[in-house]
Amino acid sequence: MSQLVLHGVGVSFGDRVAVTEVDATVAAGEWLALVGPNGSGKTSLLRAVAGTIPHRGMVQVDGVAVATMSPRRAAAAIAMVPQHRVLPEDMSVLDYTLLGRIPYAGYFGIEGPSDVAAARRALARLDAADLAGRRLGTLSGGERQRVVLARALAQEAGVLLLDEPTTSLDIGHAQQVLDLVDELRVERGIAVIAAIHDLTFAAQYAGRLLLLDAGTVIAQGAPAEVLSEAAIARFSGARVHLMQGPGGEPVVVPRR
Amino acid sequence: MVVGAALAGVLIGPASLPPGKVLAALVDRLPFVSVDSGLSTREVAILFELRLPRVVLALLVGAILSVSGGAYQGVFRNPLADPYLLGVAAGAGLGATLAIVTAGSGSLLVGVAAFLGAVAAVALAYGLGAAAGGRRTGSTLILAGVAVAAFLTAAQTFVQQRNTDAIREVYSWILGRLGTAGWQEVLLLVPYAAVGITVVLLHRRLLDALAVGEEEARTLGVRPERVRIVVVLAATLATAGAVAVSGLIGFVGIIVPHTVRLLVGGSYRVILPLSVLGGGAFMVVADLIARSVLSPAEIPIGVVTAFIGGPFFLLVLRTSTRAGER
């Protein structure tokens, strides 16, 4: 249960401004999706919130500035699943999941029995308990995704950042992953920020969207408010039909 | 395995010692135990002054080189990294050569100079790598290490050719030797081994975190730069100690950690402790081969490890290239 607040978070790489000041609040149990075209600054914003790149402004979790936390405390507050993750082929699933316990283990990150139990619980929660002894290199795409989520879950952070969690997954596995994240969000009151390039998925799963273009926030609000045919054409140059799903949420259909 | 290798190392040699009596003599040395081994004074001297220190030294050197190799592979996320990659060998070689040509090979200066050379080489490689943007990737550091190694090897060859009178001593040192080992060398090496191996082993889990990439390691609460520097310094310290007493013995740092990795998987949590044991056993066996093949003459142990290690290196290169293609 954590609330995440971004005050004027901005990122520059040298002279190039990747993200201009972003203000946003994500309540405990809320899902905010970052949408926008490639290169709009979604990943840079996530990396800034995760504290892995230098940034301006302030990121707070439950009122405490992350910049003032020790690296371990920050890791216990915010978990991140990057888009391009490295899964060492010959590492076992359990060893990999245990990495999520480093913030709680001693100085050298060597785990105790309670950490092993937490890692196993996380794997079990994602129906991956039977994968524990397998090597990462032997997993299918869907299994990998579940194991990566299990590692983030073992971190027991109140904030979960996901960068394109459905990339390279087919539609069924993509839904599975998003469903799992959604269940965890509800179950544990996790604040979720996910960069999602599929606008329909973003509208279906996130309570609010934050639309970025060239590093600037164009709109922020409920999916139906943020997504319009004109807005989509403007920011991505795409020709789309906007339809309504059964729940009234926007469904984006490409048009030839 | 370690015990078996050590026993073989103690038992086999030009003067044959009866195994039962050797065991009895070893047990006799345990505190509160007294057994009459029946070995002659000469045999006891061979056992305790020649064979045993040599085996202990081989255990220590093998453990150090293997665990350091595993540590370098973890820090630089490169399967071909080993203590010789970063220019540690070349630096130690240059330092030792300078000491040998100025003070002679028996001098204590050889060890100190080798250590200083090794540390300087690593610092140089690390500095150059960081200046070229190597904080983000391990490959820049490795390229810097290769450049440093080439430069220092050239310098070493230059010094060696200018001092042809000392060339034989330099060569015998460079090719590696455990033959002159006594308890003095063992005592010299123990502190290096204790500090280096302990520090590396304590970081075994954090090296796993580095394996998933620097940025992800950061999100797990790890400070990658700090882990890298501490582990590299510990591994280098231990390696320099090993190089100072035993000369340059190559490839052990690649063969052992990779064999362990193939057998038990890719977590440094397991690879590093098993490399300590496996490295010790491997080195004792290699030393046994080195002194048995042309017995009573000895071939340098570096030749034995290179004979096994060269093909093994190519095998690792081949499999890791294939893994990269997938």
- How does DSSP assign B175-220, residue by residue? T---TT--HHHHHHHHHHHHHHHHHHHHTHHHHHHHHT-HHHHHHT
Pair A113, A122: CB distance under 8 Å: no
N-to-C CA span, chain A: 44
Cα B168 vs. chain centroid, distance in angstroms?
A: 23
Q: Strand pairing partners for A221?
A: A209
Residue type, B14: P
Q: Which residue has the tokens 């003032």?
A: A68
Beta strand A240-244 with A4-13 is unpaired
Is B261 within 8 Å of chain A by CB?
yes
- Domain assignment present for residue A204? The answer is yes
Contact check, Cβ <8 Å, B219/A110:
no
Q: In whole angstroms, what is the distance from residue B202 CA to residue B208 CA?
A: 12
pLDDT mean over B142-164? 86
Q: How far is CA B193 from the centre of its chain?
A: 10
Under an 8 A CB cutoff, do A73 and B221 touch? Answer: yes
Name the residue with tokens 């390229």. B143
**Nearest-5° angle of CA B59, CA B62, CA B64?**
105
Pick among B199, B216, B264 to test the A interface (most A CBs inside 10 A): B216
Q: How far apart are CA B195 and CA A213, in angstroms?
A: 53
Question: Would you place residue B135 in the very low, low, confident or very high pLDDT band (cuts 50, 70, 90)?
Answer: low
Token readout for A184 is 């965890």
Which chain B residue has its CA at the smallest distance from A159's CA?
B219
Chain segment B50-97, per-residue pLDDT in tens:
788 888 999 999 999 999 999 988 887 777 777 777 788 788 888 888
Q: Look over chain A and give the mean of its residue pLDDT values, rounded to a whole number.
A: 90
Residue B326, pLDDT > 70, answer no
pLDDT for B195 beyond 80: yes
Q: Which residues of B touch A87 (CB under 8 A)?
A: 212
CB contact under 8 A, A51 and B206: no
% of chain B with per-residue pLDDT over 90: 20
Express each pLDDT in A169-225 by its tens digit. Answer: 888 888 988 998 999 999 999 999 999 988 999 999 999 999 998 889 988 999 888
> Which residue in B314, B322, B277 sits closest to B67, CA to CA?
B277
pTM > 0.90: no
Span A241-251, average pLDDT: 83
Is 90 exceeded by the pLDDT of residue A28?
yes
Q: Which of residues 262-291 of B touch A (CB under 8 A)?
A: 265-267, 269
User: How far apart, in whole angstroms, are the C-alpha atoms of residue B260 and residue B267?
Assistant: 10
Contact A71 B261 (CB under 8 A): no
Nearest-Cα residue of chain A relative to residue B217: A99
Reported ipTM: the value is 0.88
Distance CA B73, CA B82 (A): 7
CA A34 to chain centre: 9
Does A120 map to a domain? Answer: no
Residue A218 maps to a domain: yes
Minimal C-alpha gap between A233 and chain B (Å): 34
Is A237 domain-assigned?
Answer: yes
Average pLDDT of the residues in A162-170: 86
Spell out the SS3 assignment of A27-77: CCCCEEEEECCCCCCHHHHHHHHHCCCCCEEEEEECCEEHHHCCHHHHHHH
A133 and chain B in contact, CB less than 8 A = no
Minimum Cα–Cα distance from A53: chain B residue? B215
Residue B275 has pLDDT above 90, yes or no: yes
Q: What is the pLDDT of residue B323?
A: 53
Residue A112 dihedral angles phi and psi, to the nearest 5°: -105, 180
Q: Of B203, B223, B266, which has the smallest distance from its Cβ to A88's Cβ?
A: B266
Does a structural domain hold residue A201? yes
pLDDT band at A59 (very low <50, low <70, confident <90, very high): very high
Domain containing residue A247: 4-83+157-254
Residue of A nearest to B222 (CA): A71
Q: Which of A142-151, B30-39, B238-247 has the highest mean pLDDT?
A: A142-151
Q: How far is B316 from chain A (nearest CA, A)?
A: 14
The pLDDT of residue B107 is 64
Cβ A10 vs Cβ A20: under 8 Å: yes
d(CA B183, CA B108): 15
- For range B237-251, the mean pLDDT: 81
pLDDT at B105: 65
Backbone φ and ψ of B104, nearest 5°: 90, 155
Residue B292 has pLDDT above 50, yes or no: yes
Whether residue A161 contacts residue A81, with contact meaning beta carbons closer than 8 Å, is answered with yes
Phi, psi dihedrals of residue A88, rounded to the nearest 5°: -55, 120
CB nearest A110 (choices: B205, B215, B261)? B205
Report the pLDDT value the prediction gives residue A45, as an integer from 0 to 100: 95
Contacts of B198 in chain A (CB under 8 A): none
- How many angstroms separate the CA atoms of B309 and B302, rounded? 10
Whether A5 and chain B come into contact, CB under 8 Å, resolves to: no
Average pLDDT over residues B121-146: 74
Q: Are B92 and B314 in contact, with CB atoms under 8 Å apart?
A: no
Q: Which residue in A has a C-alpha nearest to residue B261's C-alpha? A: A90
Give the contacts of A65 (CB within 8 A, at least 6 positions apart).
Answer: A58, A59
User: DSSP of chain A, one letter per residue?
Assistant: ---EEEEEEEEEETTEEEEEEEEEEE-TT-EEEEE-STTSSHHHHHHHHHTSS--EEEEEETTEEGGGS-HHHHHHHEEEE-SS----TTSBHHHHHHGGGTTTS-TT----HHHHHHHHHHHHHTT-GGGTTSBGGG--HHHHHHHHHHHHHHTT-SEEEEESTTTT--HHHHHHHHHHHHHHHHHHT-EEEEE-S-HHHHHHH-SEEEEEETTEEEEEE-HHHH--HHHHHHHH---EEEEE-TTS-EEEEE--
Q: What is the mean pLDDT of chain B?
A: 81
Determine contact: B215 vs chain A, CB below 8 A. Answer: yes
- The residue-averaged pLDDT of A58-69 equals 93
How many angstroms away from the CA of B135 is the closest CA of chain A? 13
Which candidate from B205, B211, B212 shows the least CB-CB separation from A109? B205
Residue, of B12 and B197, whose pLDDT is higher? B197
pLDDT at B68: 93
Confidence of residue B12 (pLDDT cuts 50, 70, 90): confident
* Cross-chain residue pair A52–B218, CB shorter than 8 Å: yes
Asked if residue A150 is part of any domain, the answer here is no
Domains of chain B: 2-318 (1.10.3470.10)
The CA distances from residue A38 to A211, A237, B180, B307, in Å, are 12, 12, 65, 52
- Which residues neighbour B325 within 8 Å (Cβ) at sequence distance 6 or greater? none
Instruction: Say which of A47, A109, A135 has its CB closest to residue B209.
Output: A109
Chain A nearest-CA distance from B191, in A, is 22
pLDDT confidence band for B6 (50 / 70 / 90): confident
Phi (first) and psi of residue A197, to 5 degrees = -85, -20
pLDDT at B118 over 90: no
* Residues on chain A touching B219 (C-beta within 8 angstroms): 50-52, 75, 78-80, 82
User: Residue B325 pLDDT > 50, yes or no?
Assistant: no
Number of domains in chain A: 1
User: pLDDT value at position B66?
Assistant: 93
The C-alpha of A109 sits at a distance from chain B's nearest C-alpha, in angstroms, of 6
CATH of the domain at A238: 3.40.50.300
Task: Name the DSSP class of B87.
Answer: S
* pLDDT at A135 > cutoff 60: yes
Query: A104 lies in a domain?
Result: no
Assess if residue A136 is contained within a domain: no
Cβ–Cβ contact A85 with B under 8 A: yes
Does B324 score more than 50 pLDDT? no
Decide if A109 and B222 are in contact by the 8 Å CB cutoff. yes
Q: Considering Cα of B84, then B86, then B89, then B90, what sign does the dihedral take?
A: positive
Q: Record the tokens describing residue A80, joined without a space.
A: 């991140």
What's residue B133's pLDDT? 64
Chain B residues with beta carbon closer than 8 angstroms to that of A90: 261, 265-266
Test the B interface: residue of A83, A86, A92, A162 with most B CBs within 10 Å:
A86
pLDDT confidence bin for B112, thresholds 50/70/90: confident
Q: Measured between alpha carbons, how far is A29 from B33 in angstroms, rounded to an integer?
A: 68
A7: which strand partners?
A58
Q: What is the pLDDT of residue A99?
A: 94
More confident residue, B34 or A123: A123
CB contact under 8 A, B219 and A105: no
